[in-house]
Amino acid sequence: MTADPSASAEELARRGYVILRGILDAGEVARARDLCAGYLAGSGSQEMLTSAFLADEFLAGIVLRERVVSAVRELLGEEHPVLYPNCTARKNVYVPWHVDATFVGPTAGYVWEPGFAHVQCGLYLQDNDPVAGGGIDAVRASHLMSFDGYGTTEPEFDIAARTVGESDLRERVDTRAGDVVVWNARLMHTSTPVLREAGREKFGVFFSYARPHVRDNHRFLSQIAVDSMRTMNGVSRLIPRLAEIARMRYPESFPAWFAKEAADAAVQIATL
Ligand SMILES: O=C(O)CCC(=O)C(=O)O
């Protein structure tokens, strides 16, 4: 059991997300914000390549912190969780209502099988403020709802956004700077809207864990490989972060200290 009952496996199963409080303290939040500001110095939305993220011991170490890994173990019901190489930090990313792309659509029926367990983790480096944003909103228990005919059609979020997204099921995920929100892969969520600019950048650190399952782990990674090339109006564009993840191999693509810490924590790293 985790110390906090609101971060239990039961709560994740019921609500679709839980919050791990205070994974970074105030000083560490300030340090992480400085690092992210340095790495993501351009304007607009930006995200780090996994290789750049892993090269920073402080940022990469967050993913393997004892409190994070033990919570993930409890939440997945799995002693040997699998970490994917999609670790990153992002600046000023705002996305509309969605279920994370690899878990919806005609190839994603397997995410409804009883043994499927995958959690996405977002550590936010500012409070989630109802006026200035800073984190995510979620539709409570939407991991139990299908937006894609249980993996048989393209997902449809517009109707859900207008209905459950405007209902009492919509919740502002009440994260404070340094908290991690852990959500079920099937949860429908959106960036908390900014009603008034706060004069600060929005930063978050993101990573995901799953149960070890050769087929599910491979499907997730191969979907990332497919998504790394987007074709619109006949023009193909490579998404560098996703293309890099598809090329990564364990252990050679990971810093030796990171591979060792993962092994010591009984965390397996999955690559294609
Ligand atoms: O950080 C955010 O505002 C949104 C993150 C998100 O929706 C995602 O990573 O899928």
pLDDT(5) > 90: no
What confidence tens digit (pLDDT) does each residue in 103-137 have? 999 999 999 999 999 999 999 999 999 999 999 99
Looking at domain 5-211, its CATH architecture is Sandwich (2.60)
The residue assigned the tokens 């009952």 is: 5
* Cβ neighbour number for residue 114 with a 10 Å cutoff: 5
Distance 56 CA to ligand 1 centre (A): 22
What confidence tens digit (pLDDT) does each residue in 212-255 have? 999 999 999 999 999 999 888 899 999 999 999 999 999 999 99
What is the pLDDT, as a whole number, of residue 1?
A: 46
* Nearest CA owner, ligand 1 atom 3: 191
What is the pLDDT, as a whole number, of residue 4?
A: 75
Of ligand 1's listed atoms, the one at least distance from the Cα of 100 is 10
What is the pLDDT, as a whole number, of residue 3?
A: 58
Distance 26 CA to ligand 1 centre (A): 22
pLDDT bucket at 198, cuts 50 / 70 / 90: confident
Query: What would the two tokens of residue 41 be?
Result: 């110095």
State which amino acid sits at residue 41: A
Kindly state the average pLDDT of the residues 158-172: 97
Distance 129 CA to ligand 1 centre (A): 15
Kindly state the average pLDDT of the residues 141-165: 97
Distance 13 CA to ligand 1 centre (A): 20
CB 229 within 8 A of CB 238: yes
Per the prediction, the chain carries an average pLDDT of 96
Pocket of ligand 1 (CB under 6 A): 93-95, 100, 122, 136, 189, 191, 204, 206
Distance 70 CA to ligand 1 centre (A): 23
Domain residue ranges in the chain = 5-211
Kindly state the average pLDDT of the residues 54-83: 98
Handedness of CA 33, 99, 219, 9 (dihedral sign): positive
pTM of the model: 0.96
Beta-bridge partner residues of 83:
209, 269
Query: What would the two tokens of residue 101 be?
Result: 């792309």
pLDDT(2) > 60: no
Residue 90 per-residue DSSP state: E
Q: What stretch of H or E contains 17?
A: strand 17-20
Kindly state the average pLDDT of the residues 203-218: 97
